[in-house]
Amino acid sequence: MSTAPVANTNGKQATSAGKPSKGTRVVGWADERLGLATAAKKNLRKVFPDHWSFMLGEIALWSFVVLLLTGVFLTLWFRPSMAEVEYMGTYEQLRGLHMSEAFVSTMNISFDVRGGLLMRQMHHWAAMLFIASMLVHMMRVFLTGAFRKPREVNWVIGGVLILLGILEGFSGYSLPDDLLSGTGMRIAQGLVQATPVLGTYMSFFMFGGEFPGDAVISRLYMVHILLLPALILALIAAHMLLLVYHKHTQWPGPGRTEENVVGYPMLPVYMAKAGGFFFIVFGFSAFMGGLMTINPVWKYGPYDPTKVTAGSQPDWYMGIAEGTLRIMPGIESHFLGVTLSWNILIPGMIAPIALLATVLAWPFLEAWVTGDKREHHLLQRPRNAPTRTAFLVAMMSLYGLLWIGGGNDVLAVLFHLNLNHITWFLRAAIFIIPPLVFIFVKRWCISLQRHDNEMLLHGYETGIIMRSAEGGYSERHLPVSDDRAYTITARDRDEIYDPATDVDANGVAAPGGRATALREKLSQAMFADNVQKPTAEELEEGHHHAEHEHELEAGLDHAADGHQFDGRHPVEGEELRKH
């Protein structure tokens, strides 16, 4: 950074003395007008820690940029109109048919605009990638506890971004007005119409009258290319600003603490790596768009409310909504001359809202149970938060089951199963399997914690089998390196909430009551079974014990370190290896 004196805008001359270099001149010119150097000096060399999992959010960011670029291309030809026209383009099978202008312009982009199909397919693939990477990124953040203070707000922004991304995807999917998207639209209309009290009004105002009307495509177009992208862009900006302000989380390790951040500077290393990665994401989208067909609307044909194809499937991210809708039993309530459609309300409104609320509330819920008010910048290994990890994996199993539900017809055909049996199985399985998965994963995490402690206390398994003089076999353990041992132990001990000790600064005990009792119970459930890292004393004792054992077993005057058996060091009395 230039250390030129502060600009004096009252002077008659530029403040830089001497003959500055070209770069300095440019910076000077800009800074005298924008005054960005103060902020830039801190941020240009900002440190970012390195780990492969930190790249997932980057995929989401870059695929959004690809979406903006390819989307602008598509808007040049797409016509968001439901006016009926005759198709006269190059695709013979549909020529002469009447269809909406939106579908005709989609056909023209696919067949008559050179590179149009590529851009359409890139746009669709990038959208799949965008939502998928956001979800995986969110799981990474969840599993490692990166949502903890001070990052709760950024977690909420991320959750809203996923919701907006899904809505953006669905609105874009509906624009071509093909048979498949029209069917999706019809289902969405059925969901809206089932809303208690306001449903029919909402549907009539959305569609400009009865379904399908002639307004919804142009309205969705505005939502798809203006409203939602603007919101997404604004939230991405806020997400990134907070990321920069909080500085990135990092994995614990030698020299990495809660107070520092260790990694490479943004300029030049991360600028290059992230910038290069943009081209990689862009390139992959181009490959997918060029080599993998997606949404071949010409095969589906234009939308006709009386037609549907068997095996209709929405885009993958709608799969769980589709699955819930399919496996829900047909329950309706009737009273006072009105109808309440639980069969649509639960899958279409209650379940998604409950899911979103759980996701957004989790950081606050966890913080309330732990009572932890500290900032956390070191990530947790998933095994060290067994309840949280088990919860996520249980949710993943639920996601998978609902996904199966969304494709129950396809699976029935593929595996020669009875469709009704699949549905009945799923109706029970979504209540039985996630709890089983939860228990299993929680125990798994805890045994991994035990394994870590074993390794610290008794060393790692070398794979060297020793035979003692008596003929017994045992495996040799060697101590792990200091760096590794430190990394494993660099985690907090879990504290179980005890209302009896919860006394504030004035010595007043926490009020009893249901909330406190619930908090105690949750705290017990979340942390009581966890295995804590060994104390310094235990570690010391473990090491002495291990060394003692080595001596006894190996008959050596010092603990075996494995080198004796690596084939390059002679071993006394050992003859076989010489031949």
By CB under 8 A, the residues from 147 to 176 that bind another protein are: 149-150
Please, which residue, 120 or 137, has the CB nearer to another protein? 120
Q: Which of 4, 65, 262, 360 binds another protein (CB under 8 A)?
A: 262
Q: Looking at 25-33, 280-288, 500-508, 560-568, which segment touches another protein (CB under 8 A)?
A: 280-288
SS3 category, 47: strand
Give the Å distances, CA to CA, from 416 to 327, 411, 428. 19, 8, 21
Which of 222, 331, 413, 509 touches another protein by CB under 8 A? 331
Is residue 210 a contact residue for another protein (CB under 8 A)?
Answer: yes
Residue nearer to another protein on the CB measure, 16 or 181: 181
Among 52, 335, 415, 473, binds another protein (CB under 8 A): 335
* Between 254 and 555, CB nearer to another protein: 254
Is 38 a binder of another protein (CB under 8 A)? no
DSSP string covering 184-204, please? HHHHHHHHHHTSTTTHHHHHH
Which part of the chain contacts another protein (CB under 8 A), choosing from 7-15, 298-306, 387-395, 504-512?
A: 298-306
Q: Is 431 in the site for another protein (CB under 8 A)?
A: no
Specify the stretch interacting with another protein by CB under 8 A; choose among 338-346, 394-402, 441-449, 468-476.
338-346
SS3 state at 323 = helix
- Binding residues for another protein restricted to 227-246, rule: CB under 8 A: 245-246
Partnered with residue 250 across adjacent β-strands are: 378
Q: According to CB under 8 A, which one of 15, 195, 516, 524 is a site residue for another protein?
A: 195
Environment class of 232 (CB within 10 Å of its CB; exposed 0-12, middle 13-18, buried 19+): buried
Stretch that binds another protein, among 29-37, 258-266, 464-472, 518-526 (CB under 8 A): 258-266
Which parts of 518-537 interact with another protein (CB under 8 A)? 533-536
Largest CA distance in the chain: 97
One residue of 25, 76, 230, 287 binding another protein per CB under 8 A: 287
CA–CA distance, 368 with 365 (Å, rounded to integer):
5
Asked if residues 164 and 231 have their Cβ atoms less than 8 Å apart, the reply is: yes
Quick check: 86 binds another protein (CB under 8 A)? no
Q: Considering beta carbons, is residue 35 or 268 the nearer one to another protein?
A: 268
18 φψ region: left (φ > 0), alpha (ψ -120 to 50), beta (else): left
* Interaction of residue 571 with another protein, rule CB under 8 A: no
Residues 6+ apart with CB under 8 A from 192: 199, 202, 203, 206
The torsion angles phi and psi of 466, rounded to 5 degrees, stand at -105, 145
Q: Which is nearer to another protein, 375 or 461 (CB)?
A: 375
Q: Is 325 in the site for another protein (CB under 8 A)?
A: yes
Q: Tokens 């900032």, residue?
A: 375
C-alpha span between 227 and 578 (Å, rounded): 77
Q: How far is the CB of 339 from another protein (least distance, A)?
A: 5
Residues 346, 349, 352, 356, Cα dihedral to 10°: -130
Q: Which stretch binds another protein (CB under 8 A): 13-21, 331-339, 360-368, 438-446?
A: 331-339
Cβ of residue 576: shortest distance to another protein, in angstroms? 38
Please list, in sequence order, all residues whose beta carbon lies within 8 angstroms of the beta carbon of residue 563, skipping any fewer than 6 positions away.
Answer: 569
How far apart are the two ends of the chain, measured CA to CA in Å?
66
> Which residue number, 48 or 391, has a Cβ lying nearer to another protein?
48
- Phi and psi, residue 262, nearest 5°: -115, 130
- Does 215 help bind another protein (rule: CB under 8 A)? yes
- Whether the upstream peptide bond of residue 150 has omega within 30° of 0, thus cis, is yes
Q: Is the dihedral of CA 125, 126, 131, 134 positive or negative?
A: positive
Q: How far apart are CA 4 and CA 16, in angstroms?
A: 6
8 A C-beta contact, residue 173 and residue 102: no
- Among positions 39, 88, 93, 115, the unique one binding another protein when judged by CB under 8 A: 115
Task: Enter the tokens of residue 274.
Answer: 């992230």
Residue 217's nearest CA partner among 190, 178, 164 is 178
Phi, psi for 348 (deg, rounded to 5): -90, -30
Output 28 or 158, the one with its CB closest to another protein. 158
Residues 454-513 that bind another protein (CB under 8 A): 456, 482-483, 485-486, 489-490, 493
Residue 198 in contact with another protein, rule: CB under 8 A: yes
**Exactly one of 273, 360, 499, 565 binds another protein (CB under 8 A); which one?**
273
Residues in the chain: 579
Minimum distance from residue 143 beta carbon to another protein (Å): 22
**How many CB atoms lie under 10 A from the CB of residue 485?**
16
Name the residue nearer to another protein (CB basis): 308 or 528: 308
Give the helix ranges, DSSP H, for 371-418: 386-406, 408-414
Candidates 568, 566, 567, 549; CA nearest to 558 is 549
DSSP 302: B
Which residue from 343, 462, 516, 524 is in contact with another protein, where contact means CB under 8 A? Answer: 343
Q: Which is nearer to another protein, 443 or 450 (CB)?
A: 450
Give CA–CA dist 464/400, Å, rounded.
41
User: Strand 460-467 vs strand 473-478: parallel, antiparallel, or unpaired?
Assistant: antiparallel
**Cβ of residue 422: shortest distance to another protein, in angstroms?**
9
- For another protein, give the closer residue by CB, 336 or 500: 336
Q: Decide whether 273 or 458 has the Cβ nearer to another protein.
A: 273
Applying CB under 8 A, among 63, 380, 397, 423 the residue interacting with another protein is 423
Compute the least distance from the CB of residue 374 to another protein, in Å. Answer: 10
Binding mask 357-396 for another protein (x = CB under 8 A): ------------------x-x-------------------
Regarding 183 and contact with another protein (CB under 8 A), the answer is: yes
Q: Assess 280 for contact with another protein (CB under 8 A).
A: yes
Instruction: Estimate to the nearest angstrom the gap between the alpha carbon of 36 and the chain centroid.
Output: 34
CB of 96 to another protein, least distance (A): 13
Binding-site size, another protein (CB under 8 A): 127
Residue 339 is a binding residue for another protein (CB under 8 A):
yes
